[in-house]
Amino acid sequence: MEKPMKRKFVQIAALCLSVVLLSLCAGGQRAAAAPAGSADRIIRVGLHFGTGAMEGLNFANTTGSGYRFGYYDGANQFVSLGSTGQKAISVVKTMNVYYGTFSGYTSYHSALTTANVAVGEYHLQLPGSYASFGEAQAAASAYAGGFPAYIGGTFYARVGNYTSKDGALAAQAALAAQGVETAIKGTSEYGISVVITGTNTILFQFDDLGQGTGMGMEPNAEGPGEYVTLSKGCTYVGGFRFERVNGGSLTVVNILGFEDYIKGVVPHEMSNSWPIEALKAQAVAARSYALSLGSKHSSYHFDICAETHCQAYSGRTRAGSNSDAAVEQTVGQVAVWNGKIAQTAYYSSNGGASESSSTVWGSNQANYPYLVGKVDPYEAASGVKNDYAKTVDSATLAAKLKAKGCDVGGGVASIAVTSLTDSGNPKLVTFTGSNGKKFSLNSREVVSMLALSSYRYGFDTAVAPEPEPSAPELSVNGKPVDSLSGLYAVDGSGNLVPVGENVYVITGSGTTQPIEQGTGGGSNGSGGSGGLGTLSSTTGNNGVFTFIGKGWGHNVGMSQWGAYAMAQQGYTYLNILQFYYTGITVGYM
């Protein structure tokens, strides 16, 4: 659940409080042009942080002529201090780091102490300070290994890098013999160095002494166009911010235009080859979701991460003309509920029915009236293969239940779906233990406990159920249906309506015959295939229980494969959004 850089910064958290929302009419009409300034917003995207923070990270220009160094001020405007024409550089934490491959990544790491290339943490500093990067660089360039440093807001000229203080002392003595006085300097735990990749040649050193400024870096531009940087297999536009948060390794943040960010989300969440209307729906959903989150990672000094914890983002890596066009044709558009940007959650597939946020996240449903479960008549037409099975034995299941405070004895005797949600997914599941005790868990607890792939599931065993000949066999599109629950029909006005009770079918002889609820296997407690969308139970198969299901993801909001199918059937992105997010309109941020 992703870009020309603009200099005006707007805090993402504040966007939701100052939104101009121009509602669009429902249906397929094209939106008016986006308001002026909607493309000026900046977002800070965390690429590496926390346990994923880096000791060293490589960068390379695929366009541009090297990089400029500086920092981002409080308004997220880049303040340039100096630059380099080098196109392949690495940013490292200022400590002893060594160039080589570690955990599958070739860069600078502290663990590779026997590597041939080492960047040391000790340096020699020339007397005095300087007014600019250029002056410090000129002074340092008179000595082998010299480089400019910006420490606590002041420029200095430094020489060399040494992995031990003894090495620095020896180099200091050699310079002293030439009449050059220097001071041995390390850096604080917040120091950052820029080196030529694969070498120990330092180009620039930055240390904010823990003030939280961090070092900024942007590609040098050689004229109009999109300037792209390659790092760790991905390509990015915009700039980068490096900070050793709490003195740790490098937290790396991509700072770029908000619409460029959305261009990096859409092709990561959907394929660039998908229908344009599905991609447009994804663009609006991604834009809305990002804005609704605010500054989710403020403790790391960025707004949103590049992982599925927020939204998957890989810069320009997967972008194509189709996904770019989807973003450009919906620029600035967001989903709106009651004058606020909706939190437009989405997922891969629902297996036939989405689910309400209260079921999946335990949220107050009144706060998210647009995230309500519903039967999805479209997704099946996408052709997605989303069946899954999860097998667990009786003893393991009993242990998992005991960990949740449910003592069922040495094993589980039977399992039953005892309550369904409005969209026909399990709501409550009751486990009966070998000791006769019964415990009911809500679906959220069951999915978490068993790591099920979706919220649409039932049971399967090797024991076939007894047939029930008293009721006629009911099938839809040639497939047997176990119950009327969750079935919808199209009325004369083209609306989807629940089938409900007192339904009759016309038999082969032309007579009518009632269809009774509960027809089909898996609902009599004797095993068999527990139909999805039905109350069902199972006693397992020789102490083994198999959960079967359809879908992939949390089932709340928009099914991406459902959006694909709707677009294939000629629906517009507005149709798609208004189906999956009940009652929303589409407006501008």
What is the structure's pLDDT at 488? 54
Per-residue pLDDT of the chain (589 residues; tens, 9 = 90+): 533 333 333 333 333 333 334 444 444 444 444 554 456 899 999 999 999 999 999 999 877 789 999 999 989 999 999 999 999 999 999 999 999 999 999 999 999 999 999 999 999 999 999 999 999 999 999 999 999 999 999 999 999 999 999 999 999 999 999 999 999 999 899 999 999 999 999 999 999 999 999 999 999 987 677 788 999 999 999 999 999 998 999 999 999 999 999 999 999 999 999 999 999 999 999 999 999 988 778 878 899 999 988 999 999 999 999 999 999 999 999 999 999 999 999 999 999 999 999 999 999 999 999 999 999 999 999 999 999 999 999 999 999 999 999 999 999 999 999 999 999 999 999 999 999 999 999 999 999 999 999 999 999 854 444 444 444 455 555 455 555 555 555 554 444 555 554 454 544 444 444 544 433 333 333 344 557 888 999 999 999 999 999 999 999 999 999 999 999 999 999 999 999 999 999 999 7
What is the structure's pLDDT at 503? 53
What is the structure's pLDDT at 60? 96
What is the structure's pLDDT at 532? 85
In degrees rounded to 5, what are phi and psi of residue 137? -65, -40
Phi-psi region of 76 (alpha: psi -120 to 50; beta: other; left: phi over 0): left
The answer to whether residues 193 and 205 touch, using CB atoms and an 8 Å cutoff, is yes
Q: Is the sign of the CA dihedral 43, 47, 49, 54 positive or negative?
A: negative
404 closest CA partner among 445, 371, 348: 445
Tracing tokens 């600019």 back to the chain, one arrives at 132
237 closest CA partner among 255, 224, 223: 255
Q: Is the sign of the CA dihedral 58, 60, 64, 65 positive or negative?
A: positive
What is the structure's pLDDT at 475? 56
Q: Which amino acid, one-letter code, is at 264?
A: G
What's the per-residue H, E or C state across 131-193?
CCHHHHHHHHCCCCCEEEEEECCEEEEEEEEECCHHHHHHHHHHHHHCCCCCEEECCCCCCEE
- Whole-number CA gyration radius for the chain: 30
What is the structure's pLDDT at 533? 84
Q: What is the DSSP letter of 90?
A: E
What is the structure's pLDDT at 539? 93
What is the structure's pLDDT at 358? 96
What is the structure's pLDDT at 404? 94
